[in-house]
Structure 1
Amino acid sequence: MEAVPASPQPIPFGKAHARRLREIYRSAGWPMQDPLEIELLAAGLLSRERARSGHESLRVTDAGVQLIANALKANRRAFDAHEALVERVAQEMSRAGRVAWRNLSLRAQVPSDEADSPLRWCMARPDVFSIRNTSVATYVDPIVHEVKVRRADLLSDLKNEAKRAAYLDLGECWYVLGCDARGRCIAEADEVPAECGVMVLENGRLAVVRQAPRRARNGLPFGVWMALAKATPLPVAEDDPQQML
């Protein structure tokens, strides 16, 4: 009896596939002839076209355009969810009496691989940066909050030790974890390095799962003070007067 050939396994399309489709869609469509392109051709998301000159180019099919649109929609939802949670954290810091900023670019020092220079400067851009509302420089208690709403983004971020080192150079580092489509937290607290605190979104509320370790600080570097002076902090949050009734 002749064996029935096994059905081909579906190709798991990801961000790289959608990115390549977008690149081809807005370009002349020159082929790269790599595995990614082969998968897109096999799935009917790309088609090959030959010009009269004999040169071959690629065209995104209608199915490919639909995949691009679906990817853009998913990215937009994730961006909206991320921005909403960032705003929520910033407002919570403001309500706690802290001065909060969003998306600041701050200089930080991280370990260097060079023997003659153990530290190097880099730019850090935390989702939320806040300090105490105090006139005593040594009491500012700087805190960085990094918000994640996608598990893949979190795992990729946790592999970036230099980025985390930059956050820790600026202040306490906290990871704020959102929920997936089923309402489950995107990660367990023990997946986040012990030098960072963990907050999660539970039933619409931010809950502390693990405190960030306290570290002695003498204040903020002059460069950070200058960046804060040039930026506009979040307006002071005011409680809803209806909650008082």
Structure 2
Amino acid sequence: MHRSAGWPCHDAIEVELIAAGCLQRCFDGVGREHLRVSDEGIALLARIYARNRAALSAHEALVQRVALEQARAGRLAWCGLALRAPLPREGAPLASDWVVACPDVYSIRRSSRADWLEPVVHEIKVSRADLLSDLRKADKRAAYLGMAGAVWYVLGRDAKGRPVGDERDVPEDCGVLVDAGTAGGWELRREAPRRAVPQLPLGVWLALAQATPVRAEEPDQQGL
């Protein structure tokens, strides 16, 4: 409404918003029509923004929890990375398409040997709609599997305390952890298959070198 200066476009969405009382039809002195957001519409927007903030806060809290647990276990963990990953092009095995993958938590072992890093991706979901939408993105999951030896889906709980999903929703090439809620810890629903990663892709190394890992106060010692 603000971008269009309130001029109506008379589409189906506009009709529904007017009928719901979220928009009001107004006319100037010469009869030209424009629309304004009603008090009911402002209240609805406020509720939507509050719900979105709560979902984001829950997601960020779970991301930080997973990252800190990885760091305390002696691993190097990063949040919010944007990693370029090659995907083999169908019908052209020597060619690749590039995608940008953004794992919620990416971690590696503390080791000086490239073949001992055991990179792991943790993808966090606190909304069932977000989970189902994500599972339809096969290229994204393939990118994660290409840059990590194990991929985990970490599933939170909704406002009623119910898990947003389970192992039946997630493909078998990924592990599944469910937030145990008030009991604390995690419910292991399926172990993530482990694959050897002889060497991290160069693009991943460059991204890690420019990012700051999560810090834990007292990380556990991890043998090399």
TM-score normalised by the chain length of structure 2 = 0.89
Q: Report the counterpart of residue 187 of structure 1 in structure 2.
A: 165
Counterpart-to-counterpart distance in 2, 1:52 and 1:173? 63
- Quick one: structure 1 residues 31 and 117, their matched pair in 2 at CA, closer, same or farther if it must change by over 3 Å? farther
- Quick one: structure 1 residues 41 and 167, their matched pair in 2 at CA, closer, same or farther if it must change by over 3 Å? same
Q: Would you say the 8 A contact 1:91–1:237 is kept in 2?
A: no
Q: Report the counterpart of residue 129 of structure 1 in structure 2.
A: 106
Counterpart-to-counterpart distance in 1, 2:122 and 2:99? 18
Aligned length: 216
List gaps (5 residues or longer) in structure 1: 1-23, 240-245
- Quick one: structure 1 residues 51 and 231, their matched pair in 2 at CA, closer, same or farther if it must change by over 3 Å? same
User: Does 2:71 align with 1:91?
Assistant: no
Structure 1 residue 206: deviation in Å? 2.2
Structure 1 residue 115: deviation in Å? 5.2
Q: Would you say the 8 A contact 2:166–2:176 is kept in 1?
A: no
- Quick one: structure 1 residues 59 and 94, their matched pair in 2 at CA, closer, same or farther if it must change by over 3 Å? same
List gaps (5 residues or longer) in structure 2: 220-224
User: Does 2:152 align with 1:148?
Assistant: no
Q: What SS does the corresponding residue of 1:157 show, helix, strand or coil?
A: helix
Counterpart-to-counterpart distance in 2, 1:134 and 1:75? 39
| 2:144 maps to which of 153, 167, 175 | 167
Q: Report the counterpart of residue 139 of structure 1 in structure 2.
A: 116
- Quick one: structure 1 residues 71 and 111, their matched pair in 2 at CA, closer, same or farther if it must change by over 3 Å? farther
Q: What one-letter code is carried by the residue in structure 1 that aligns with 2:137?
A: N
Q: CA RMSD, aligned part only?
A: 1.9
Counterpart-to-counterpart distance in 2, 1:168 and 1:181? 31
Q: Would you say the 8 A contact 2:85–2:203 is kept in 1?
A: no
Counterpart-to-counterpart distance in 2, 1:237 and 1:200? 25
**Worse-matched range after superposition: 93-102 or 42-51:** 42-51
TM-score normalised by the chain length of structure 1 = 0.82
Which of the pair has the greater relative contact order for Cα pairs under 8 Å at 6+ separation? 2
**Worse-matched range after superposition: 88-97 or 228-237:** 228-237
- Quick one: structure 1 residues 175 and 32, their matched pair in 2 at CA, closer, same or farther if it must change by over 3 Å? farther
Structure 1 residue 222: deviation in Å? 1.5
- Quick one: structure 1 residues 35 and 116, their matched pair in 2 at CA, closer, same or farther if it must change by over 3 Å? farther
Q: Report the counterpart of residue 212 of structure 2 in structure 1.
A: 232
Q: Report the counterpart of residue 45 of structure 2 in structure 1.
A: 68
Structure 1 residue 223: deviation in Å? 1.6
Q: What one-letter code is carried by the residue in structure 2 that aligns with 1:122?
A: V
Q: What one-letter code is carried by the residue in structure 2 that aligns with 1:128?
A: V
- Quick one: structure 1 residues 115 and 55, their matched pair in 2 at CA, closer, same or farther if it must change by over 3 Å? farther
